[in-house]
């Protein structure tokens, strides 16, 4: 199987199940699909200041939703109208960046377009810091290249960010993938203290390493929550020894170009330290959770 064939089909997480026809009914244009996602999800961090919606405590847990089918279940339970109809902020699924990326990728894969979720760091939220972020990457058949797209950035976001860039076609400077971030930190061209989640005081080489492991899982089509912890991922503020660094160097070495190193991306993921187990630790909810798809 080629990389394009692999990424054109669903994972357990992107499979919409009984909602497949709803995704197939969406427009074929990538920008139009991103626009649909905008109208279905709302980021909990900015819901009130940017959209005037105060997220009720009872709905805060929606950010932990696993899988496209469960997402669409909840979206329709809140508002049963067709997915292409944008909801008002209070009737959108409470989300964070990974859910925008997951639904975007699910819609593209349902249409047979090769797509994958990518982890990394965005330069456009809080420069000069690079903030932890998850986006979608899809294959542009006409241009014969992979395109990085941030399906979270609607017109409201873009007005706030005030940067001149195209969220549908991000440059490597705008979004630094996890392996590229690791490479930059190891070479001394990036400061690990500037990479992470500044609002939570989470940053450093350990954080980049953890993102690298989650990105490897996503490249193997197991798209996890950005705060799931397992295996080789370093603990909070952990110092990395030479053995740790060598393992993460190997991960970054193959995931920098996952198509050229496709077989290595697949085989390295079989390492028990990197493979997603049946149970992971949800570090935000502070609880172990079962991932049956693993």
Q: Which of 77, 83, 80, 98 is nearest to 33 (CA)?
A: 83
User: How far is C-alpha 69 from the chain's CA centre?
Assistant: 17
Query: What would the DSSP string read from start to end of 104-137?
Result: HHHHHHHTT--EEEEEEEEEEEETTEEEEEEEEE
What is d(CA 83, CA 56) in angstroms, rounded to the nearest whole number? 23
Question: What pLDDT digit, counting tens, does each position of 49-69 carry?
Answer: 999 999 999 999 999 999 999
Question: Rounded to the nearest 5°, which phi and psi values hold at 82?
Answer: -55, 150
Mean pLDDT, rounded, for 235-246: 94
pLDDT band at 132 (very low <50, low <70, confident <90, very high): very high
**Residue 162: per-residue pLDDT:** 80
Tell me which residue of 92, 93, 107 sits closest to 32, measured CA to CA. 107
Residue with tokens 């190193």: 261
Region 134-155 average pLDDT = 98
| Contact in structure between 111 and 28 (CB atoms under 8 Å) | yes
Mean residue pLDDT of the chain comes to 97
Find out whether 27 and 84 touch, Cβ atoms under 8 Å.
yes
Q: Give me the mean pLDDT over the 196-200 stretch.
A: 94
Banded model confidence at residue 183, pLDDT cuts 50, 70, 90: very high
Is residue 26 predicted with pLDDT exceeding 70?
yes
**Confidence grade of residue 292 (pLDDT, cut at 50, 70, 90):** confident
Question: Using alpha carbons only, how large is the chain's radius of gyration in Å?
Answer: 18
pLDDT tens digits for range 5-17:
999 999 999 999 9
pLDDT tens across 63-102, in order? 999 999 999 999 999 999 999 999 999 999 999 999 999 9
For the ranges 137-146, 154-163, 272-281, which has the lowest average pLDDT?
Answer: 154-163
Residue 293 has pLDDT above 90, yes or no: no
Paired tokens of 132: 């932890």
Taking residues 223-235, report their average pLDDT. Answer: 97
The structure's pTM equals 0.97
Does the pLDDT at position 242 exceed 80? yes
Please give the DSSP secondary-structure letter assigned to residue 67: S
How confident is residue 196, by pLDDT bands cut at 50, 70 and 90?
very high
The first and second tokens of residue 271, run together, are 């390492």
pLDDT of 171 strictly over 90: yes
Nearest in space to 269 (alpha carbons), one of 206, 199, 204, 217: 217
* Phi, psi of 276, deg, nearest 5: -70, 125
What percent of the chain is predicted at pLDDT more than 70?
A: 99
Secondary structure of residue 258 in the 3-state scheme: coil
Residue 236 CB contacts under 8 Å (≥ 6 apart), including other chains? 202, 206
Identify the DSSP state of 205.
Answer: H
pLDDT tens string 102-125: 999 999 999 999 999 999 999 999
Domain boundaries, the chain: 3-290
Predicted local confidence at residue 294, as pLDDT: 63
* pLDDT score, position 164: 81
Nearest Cα neighbor of 2 from 266, 269, 268, 259 is 259
Question: CB 3: neighbour CB atoms within 10 A?
Answer: 20
Mean pLDDT of 188-196: 97
Q: Long-range contacts of range 170-176, CB-CB < 8 Å, 24 or more positions apart?
A: 170/135, 173/123, 174/122, 174/123, 174/124, 174/148, 175/120, 175/121, 175/122, 175/123, 175/133, 175/135, 175/148, 175/150, 176/120, 176/121, 176/122, 176/123, 176/130
CA 294/CA 65 separation, integer angstroms: 16
Mean pLDDT over 166-191 rounds to: 97
DSSP summary character for residue 170: B
The number of helices, as runs of H, and strands, as runs of E, in the chain is 11, 11
């Amino acid at each position: 199987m080629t990389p394009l064939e692999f990424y054109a089909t669903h994972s357990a997480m992107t499979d919409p199940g009984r909602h497949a026809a709803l995704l197939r009914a969406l427009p074929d244009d990538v920008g139009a699909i991103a626009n649909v996602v905008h109208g279905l999800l709302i980021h909990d961090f900015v819901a009130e200041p940017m959209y005037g919606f105060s997220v009720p405590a009872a709905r805060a847990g929606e950010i932990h939703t696993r899988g496209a089918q469960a997402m669409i279940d909840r979206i329709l339970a809140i508002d049963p109208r067709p997915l292409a109809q944008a909801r008002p902020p209070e009737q959108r699924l409470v989300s964070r960046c990974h859910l925008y990326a997951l639904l975007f990728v699910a819609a593209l894969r349902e249409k047979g377009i090769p797509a994958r979720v990518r982890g990394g760091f965005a330069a456009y939220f809080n420069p000069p810091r690079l903030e932890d972020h998850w986006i979608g990457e899809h294959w542009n058949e006409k241009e014969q290249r992979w395109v990085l797209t941030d399906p979270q950035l609607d017109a409201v976001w873009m007005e706030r960010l005030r940067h001149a860039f195209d969220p549908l076609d991000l440059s490597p400077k705008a979004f630094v993938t996890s392996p590229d971030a690791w490479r930059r930190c190891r070479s001394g061209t990036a400061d690990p203290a500037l990479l992470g989640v500044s609002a939570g005081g989470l940053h450093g080489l350990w954080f980049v390493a953890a993102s690298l492991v989650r990105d490897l899982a996503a490249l193997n089509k197991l798209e996890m929550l950005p705060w799931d912890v397992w295996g080789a991922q370093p603990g909070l503020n952990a110092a990395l020894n030479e053995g740790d660094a060598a393992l993460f160097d190997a991960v970054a070495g193959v995931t920098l170009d996952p198509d050229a190193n496709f077989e290595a991306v697949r085989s390295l993921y079989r390492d028990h330290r990197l493979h997603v187990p049946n149970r992971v630790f949800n570090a935000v909810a502070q609880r172990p959770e079962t991932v049956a798809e693993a």
